[in-house]
Structure 1
């Protein structure tokens, strides 16, 4: 079994290598080749299977908008890469495979095959991993093996690619890795409104106000887990003076893109998201009541220390919740289905928002004939660009198609409520 060790952000000085983890083998020997790769990747010297130009990582700052500059990955990214390499090293040990000898086809057939079949899932044995998880692991492993071949740590390693039509530019072609796991649009599992409402109620009754409101915000605002954990109280907008349905809120802490790996505040690319007025009222109620009790607990336990800026705080310590604690609370009551996560909550927001916007468009239009499923297929791309992309931060072509398939299937089965968010507040 391999071990990943990364310094805590409160306990290290910000240096060029402070965000890079280390990997040790089961006998506590430093995995030199793996660490060499992590250092090269973490300092921007190796990326996407090739060595970067020295000018890119020595002359251009990490925040440079220049197309040729290399952006050094964040601490969170390097931690994810380290975990994926550790998982691969564990698999090699369990299957008696030498990573210096394995080829691309064997990697796809055996390592990827075991993850697809549920034979290599360290949390739920027998359960296949999500397509996105498998593809991410294979991506980083291939990058490491390409690096190892480049440095002479192993023999040649070639990733196989196919030439496919670029979904973003319909008339041009691009390369796509051969053997990539595809997620069928029908594989997208979204909880029903009733399932989500029941789960939120159980979370509130058994775990309290903070976990309930964090989960409700994940569903109602579609923030990433890290964005939710780092959301500050002063970022919550004031209640509107006029009658509106939503208000804008700017998020940046924990956001992807434009992040300095040495920034302890994890400030990323800002974007404006829409928050329903009903949810906003709950957030204000939380700040004026429960959060003040949490701050009192923090002051009692940490006299003289600065109060935390984060919005959501633990009722036990008054401190912001860690990701592991948040995820443990998320799963502490019966989930709507296995695999329901904060990331799936973002898909849930997108799908139900599309349903609501399609119904609004139909009601405002005149002379619209035919079933709603046909209308959804015709207008979904415009709605994705107008409403979904600004909120989520990005939506690629495959994800957009999954949303469309889910919405079309829903209109085939039932006529959904006009406002799904109102139902969660009943």
Structure 2
């Protein structure tokens, strides 16, 4: 995930009065913390009107800040889709890995934690993406081939009645994970499985620490455990923090899967073997506490690793197949489980849990789901609830046969 760093005007002025003209221009950082040179150059040149592209008026500091947020969203989408932004095309409806695909994934909520995005926001993000790609293609940069930056129309806006979440079955995901297990190292397979088991974002999955996994003797009785995470989470994150700690939240984990993670951390052939490689390659350096380590280098995986893993073990259960879809999968199936738990505690039978009364009945379940997921909107939970309603409706039809 790209980060945005905002300069300190006072420190810039202290360094040199000439730098004060740059005080409102954000710096875009790669997930590694390195400066995203092309994106930062674009923001600078657009802010200072070096890159005009037909514009006559300098943008305000607030506008430049919004340009940075919109550009970061586009670059994160490229990363999520495993696309090189230099080669991306305008595309059409049949091309999900294009700018039209980007727009449609925002319109139907697939590229958002907050559900379908408004047309105004989509158009603002597209405008910046188009301008950035046109900037990259222009002389003297020539970072990519020629690009037509005319506005993109006709990507469609999903009507509220059609805002449904397409989710694969548990059997299809289990089959895909079994194929992935054969093709990958245990750390890679478990990191991917953790997304489906807990609803972790990809940056949270690569950043989870071994020290966060409790021993089985500390488990509470029952099918689920709860652990707190903060590495890689959203909210309150300092862009300069190499540990990428954000706002803490609690996640729900199946007891047997949490025990498997604990065993991975201590199995001599798995994480300890990777640690031995790290110590051999980096004598005297502090060993990483990350749970998932590359057995070839002993180092933590990059934020791009989950995307690469989702491209393997073809065929995928659905398209597009990304870590973000894994999070939606967990949310839908977990909401259904929470609703069934709530119904059981209320003394209801399976047939009493009706789609028509689900939202009114399931307030507690929705609240718990939002807490597990972290940043998620009412609109997104409504989509998950619609999926659960449809699932229950189909089950009721089958029971009546």
Q: Structure 1-normalised TM-score?
A: 0.63
2:279 paired residue among 262, 279, 299: 299
Contact 2:96 2:320 in 1 (8 A): no
**Residue 222 of structure 1: aligned partner:** 199
**Residue 372 of structure 2: aligned partner:** 391
2:355 paired residue among 359, 373, 384: 373
Listed as ranges, the matches of 1:285-364 within 5 Å are: 285-289=263-267, 290-334=270-314, 335-364=316-345
Whole-Å separation in 1 of the counterparts to 2:355 and 2:278: 52
| C-alpha distance after superposition, 1:302-349 (max 9, x if no partner) | 222221121101121111111223321222112211212211111111
Whole-Å separation in 1 of the counterparts to 2:207 and 2:348: 47
| C-alpha distance after superposition, 1:120-154 (max 9, x if no partner) | 834999996553449566333557999xxxxxxxx
**Residue 36 of structure 2: aligned partner:** 21
The yes-or-no answer on 1:138 pairing with 2:119 is: no
**Residue 248 of structure 1: aligned partner:** 226
Contact 1:22 1:35 in 2 (8 A): no
**Residue 391 of structure 2: aligned partner:** 410
Compared with structure 1, are the counterparts of its residues 255 and 185 closer, same or farther at alpha carbon in structure 2 (3 Å cutoff)? farther
Compared with structure 1, are the counterparts of its residues 299 and 353 closer, same or farther at alpha carbon in structure 2 (3 Å cutoff)? same
| C-alpha distance after superposition, 1:209-254 (max 9, x if no partner) | 1121111110111111001111111122332354233222111111
Q: SS of 1:317's equivalent?
A: coil
**Residue 201 of structure 1: aligned partner:** 178
Q: Relative to total residues, which structure has the larger helix share, 1 or 2?
A: 2
How far off is 1:375 after superposition? 4.5
Gaps of 5+ in 1: 8-14, 38-44, 53-71, 95-110, 147-178, 417-426
**Residue 57 of structure 2: aligned partner:** none
After TM superposition, the structure 1 stretch with the greater mean CA deviation from structure 2, 136-145 or 396-405, is 136-145
- Give the paired residue count: 323
Whole-Å separation in 1 of the counterparts to 2:284 and 2:380: 48
How far off is 1:370 after superposition? 4.3
The yes-or-no answer on 1:278 pairing with 2:263 is: no
Whole-Å separation in 2 of the counterparts to 1:363 and 1:308: 43
Whole-Å separation in 2 of the counterparts to 1:381 and 1:286: 37
**Residue 60 of structure 1: aligned partner:** none
Compared with structure 1, are the counterparts of its residues 357 and 121 closer, same or farther at alpha carbon in structure 2 (3 Å cutoff)? closer
Whole-Å separation in 1 of the counterparts to 2:233 and 2:383: 23
Compared with structure 1, are the counterparts of its residues 253 and 6 closer, same or farther at alpha carbon in structure 2 (3 Å cutoff)? closer
Q: Which protein has greater RCO, CA pairs closer than 8 Å, 6+ apart? A: 2
Q: Structure 2-normalised TM-score?
A: 0.66
| C-alpha distance after superposition, 1:361-395 (max 9, x if no partner) | 3233346664532343432333111x201110022
Compared with structure 1, are the counterparts of its residues 208 and 375 closer, same or farther at alpha carbon in structure 2 (3 Å cutoff)? farther
| C-alpha distance after superposition, 1:244-298 (max 9, x if no partner) | 3322211111111111121111111111222221111000110011100111121
Whole-Å separation in 2 of the counterparts to 1:360 and 1:30: 51
Gaps of 5+ in 2: 5-11, 13-25, 30-34, 50-59, 132-155
How far off is 1:17 after superposition? 4.3
Compared with structure 1, are the counterparts of its residues 89 and 201 closer, same or farther at alpha carbon in structure 2 (3 Å cutoff)? closer
Contact 1:224 1:342 in 2 (8 A): yes
